[in-house]
Amino acid sequence: MKQTIKTLIEQAARAAFEKGALPSDAFPPFTVEEPKVESQGDFATNIAMVMAKAQKMAPRKIAEALVAEMALAGSIVDKVEIAGPGFINLFLDKGAWLDAVTRVEDKGDTYGASTLGEGKKVMVEFVSANPTGPLHVGHGRGAAVGDSTARILSFAGFDVDKEYYINDSGRQIRTLGLSLFLRYKELCGTPVDFPEDCYQGAYIIDMAQGVKADKGDSLLEMPEDEAVLLCARHAASLILEGIKTDLEAFGVPFDCWFSEQSLYDNGLVPETIETLKAKGTLYENDGALWFKTSEYGDEKDRVVVRSNGQTTYFASDIAYHMNKFDRGYQRLIDVWGADHHGYIPRINASITATGHNKDDFDVILVQLVNLLRGGEPVAMSTRSGEFVTLKDVVDEVGADAARFIFLSRHYDSPLDFDLELAKKKTNDNPVFYVQYVHARISSILEKAKAERGLTVSAAPMESLTQPEEIALMKAMLRFPEVVETAAKLMEPHRISYYLMDLASAFHSYYNKHKVLTDDAVLSAARLRLVASVRQVIKTGLALLGVSAPEKM
């Protein structure tokens, strides 16, 4: 509808120019917005303000010329007002909104979809937690954001793949192996001094018990480096399987699980280093190999190969992002924790240095989750290994509630997640508030069929004139724009905000009006209306990875 109004305004401007009411055919870009105050109309535009310089006229005079054209017969505009120095407020005829239901019915599950992405290949890489321990609630928020972003982009016409980058190489994995081996030695009766920088959680002891049961004391007879490596691979494999299981329960599937170690096994890291050497972007200093990242916008140069010959994580990250482009992806989106913000410039530098456009690389930074129970903070300590896992949260409140709440705020803001609130079956719980609309409408449709033999049919809509009915239709017509904006800005919370608004509009309507009345024509029209609302709720929830229950 907003685009329809914009076209109407453009047509009015051209007509005013052709009739001599405007001296110039220069029409700069202008905005059309929905006023927050109902008395200011259905839409408002600043066109008269932005045209003033080109037209060499006062904005109010320009507005008068445009209003004269928009007031012509046959327009969907019922009334036009000029406000202040030249803002134009447009009030639409109620019949202009009746098309909303038909649009939803015609498109069904694809209502709100678009061709914005034009099939562009996009990689969304997210979670990518080191396989050194279970996923925690922070990983859960990143998983919800990444998965929903991918769903929205796909719905908007992009060709999207989701990838998990497995950090299965380097110091952290060796530390994991050492942690497991030391706990294993303890179980074998060998006293050990357990370092503080080893992994402290009870899950390490659980795995050590499994190794002891399977291998007995045999690992003690092996060279320690060999035993630690064996323990590292065993632990990483077990933890990764647990991560996959937890993400599956959370409704987050991946198209690819990409191993960091494979970059070394396939020679891609040394190959990348040689490519950078050939480009003259590396230099030696103090026995180490440095990348001239400062020449590409980073605050300082970065080491890619240490003086001991060991490559850094940065080296494999460069190879990994080059590999993504080599696989044909035209746009890369990484979802990271907010504490990694300083890493963005160096990856941007590496992308530019390897001949790609850094504008094709985006990073979504996800802020922390503050876990509460009844308003009180839940104590967590990663050092001691005591923390609430994603599995704990999903087991307690369910995947739907967890996902919706994770996506209920912009990811760049810290999030308070109250476990008790997430379990409530009341309107205070946002996911319940939205899902209940879908369940309520499903119940209405079932009742209409069982008790009156009514089904959703092509009933005339002209009887829908109540303000709450118009509000619902307006809300549904906004959905495609909301999806497109969420895709452009990579902001899934826009969908949850929208669903809350639509749910609120429905609750207001349902509290004032009966869907099934004594008037058969009105009842049929209202069935069409609420069935369309149900469809939009279902589609919106699907974009968040949340189910739309028939009963609650």
Mean pLDDT throughout 338-349? 96
| Average pLDDT of the segment spanning 184-208 | 92
Residue with tokens 């449709």: 445
Q: Write out pLDDT tens, residues 455-479.
A: 888 889 999 999 999 999 999 999 9
**How many CA atoms, within 13 angstroms, populate the side-chain half-sphere of residue 519?**
13
pLDDT at 70 over 50: yes
Q: Residue 380: its pLDDT value, please?
A: 62
Single-letter amino acid, residue 275: T
Quick check: 481 and 2 in contact, CB under 8 A?
Answer: yes
Worst-scoring range by mean pLDDT, 106-120, 342-356, 373-387, 499-513?
373-387
pLDDT digits (tens, 9 = 90+) for 491-513: 999 999 999 999 999 999 999 99
Q: What is the per-residue pLDDT across 91-150, written as a single tens digit (0 to 9) for each? A: 888 888 988 999 999 999 999 999 999 999 999 999 999 999 899 999 999 999 999 999
CATH node for 1-92: 3.30.1360.70
pLDDT of the residue at 39: 85
- What's the pLDDT at 74? 55
Q: What is the pTM of this model?
A: 0.91
CB 143 within 8 A of CB 544: no
Q: How confident is the model at residue 37 (pLDDT cuts 50, 70, 90)?
A: confident
Predicted local distance difference test score (pLDDT) of residue 201: 85
Under the banding of pLDDT at 50, 70 and 90, the label for residue 383 is: very low
Residue 422 has pLDDT above 90, yes or no: yes
Residue position matching structure tokens 């060279």: 223
All structural domains of the chain with their residue ranges = 1-92, 98-116+427-544, 171-246
Position 2 scores a pLDDT of: 86
Alpha helices in 354-466, H assignment, sequence order: 390-397, 399-406, 419-423, 430-452
Specify the pLDDT at position 73: 47
Share of residues in the chain with pLDDT > 70 (%): 98
The pLDDT confidence band at residue 336, using thresholds 50, 70 and 90, is very high
Mean pLDDT of the chain: 94
- As a CATH number, domain 98-116+427-544 is 1.10.730.10
Instruction: Read off the tokens for 213.
Output: 């049961």
Q: Residue 382 above 60 pLDDT?
A: no
- How far lies 195's CA from each of 175, 177, 227, 231, 383, in Å? 10, 13, 18, 17, 12
Q: Give the pLDDT band of residue 388 (cuts 50, 70, 90).
A: confident
Q: Is the pLDDT of residue 229 over 90?
A: yes
| Ramachandran category for residue 270: left, alpha or beta (phi over 0 → left; psi -120 to 50 → alpha) | alpha
What pLDDT, on a 0 to 100 scale, did the predictor assign at position 49?
Answer: 93
38 or 155, higher pLDDT = 155
Whether 72 shows a pLDDT value over 80: the answer reads: no
